[in-house]
Every structure is written in structure tokens, then in C-alpha cells.
Amino acid sequence: MTKNRGLSFYKRKKKINRGHVREVFLWILGMLIAVFIALVLNIFLGTMTNVVGVSMEPTLYNGQKVFINTFHYLISAPKRGDVIVFLPNGNENSHYYIKRVVAVVGDKVVIRDGILYVNDEASPWVTEKLVEEGIAANEFVLGNGEYFCIGDNSGNSEDSRSANIGPVKEKDILGKVWFRAPCEELGMGFVK
């Protein structure tokens, strides 16, 4: 008997090649890992912004790029000495301000004879004599979610002493500056 080799309308089942399945799986896994790493970097590096002005010299310079950790303050509160990025009074039309936290929630703040006192002790974060006392001329206590911030170059800084900025509210803080991009004066590195 001879087999009929004519037209056949039956589909032959294709065998799945395990090597191809494995390769597709590895591609998908690689893409998922890349997306995960990108998300983690975005959370921890947060965002990047430029320093505007000379108020943070010699720590940061005008035009220098800094990385902001936007995740840090989701799990902890700002501490004295932290360099933070915030929008003054939440003003979305303003540039980001970068200043150092010198007093935290519940601290008593006053400037007398050009010296910043926090809880009746001279602040170690402000070493030069302050010419402008601003709102800190009269002693006050920082409320819940408020931080008193001053630029490292306090003689050329618009900061929490100014009535139009005042104490920085926690909700207006974008994050903590943790890394600076290279610049001629400082090089690159972590912000202290």
C-alpha cells in the first residue's frame, strides 16, 4: 500500500524549543531587574538640582549639581547639620533652596549679639557672626514639623531668619542633599 502524499489539512504540532523559552525568560528577567534597579536608584538618588547662589559656600557652589535623597525623610526626620532642599513656603514657582538645618522641632531659637543660640547654647553650625537677626531677634520655639535653616555662608543667605521664608515646614522639604557632582573648587563627594 502506498501512502497518499497529497494535500493535508491537518496542522502539525510544533514542538516548543526549551532553549528559546529559556532565552525569552532571561530577557524578561533582565528587563525586570533593570526596571527594579532604575526605581531603586530613583528613590534613593531621588532627583538632581543645581545650587542657586552663594549661600552654601564653601560647602556647595553656585551652579553645582547635587543629588537629593527623597527617600531619607520618609523614614526619619531631618537632624541638625543636615543639608536639605526645600521650596520656601511650598511655593511651586520658586527655585529650590538649599540650606543647613540648625534647629529642629521643639528647639528654642534666638540670635543675640550676632550669635545663633539653640536651646541656650551657641550653634556649632553657624560659626560667623550674624549681622541680620530677622525673625530670630526674639526667642521662639519651633513647632511641630518646623525646622530652622541657615546657609553656610550666612552673611549672603536668605534663609529661615527672613520673614518671607521663616521656619521650613516638613511638608515643603524635598529631601536631603547627599552627594555633590564634581566642581573645580571641591571635586565630588558626599555632603557633610
Contacts of 76 by beta carbon, 8 Å cutoff, 6+ apart: none
Catalytic sites, residue numbers: 55, 99
DSSP for the chain reads: -PPP-S---PPPPPPPPHHHHHHHHHHHHHHHHHHHHHHHHHHHHBEEEE--SSTTTTTS-TT-EEEEESSHHHHS---TT-EEEE-GGG-TTSPPEEEEEEE-TT-EEEEETTEEEETTEE-TT--SPPS--GGGGS-EE--TTEEEEE-SSGGG---TTSTTT-SEEGGGEEEEEEEE---TTT-SEE--
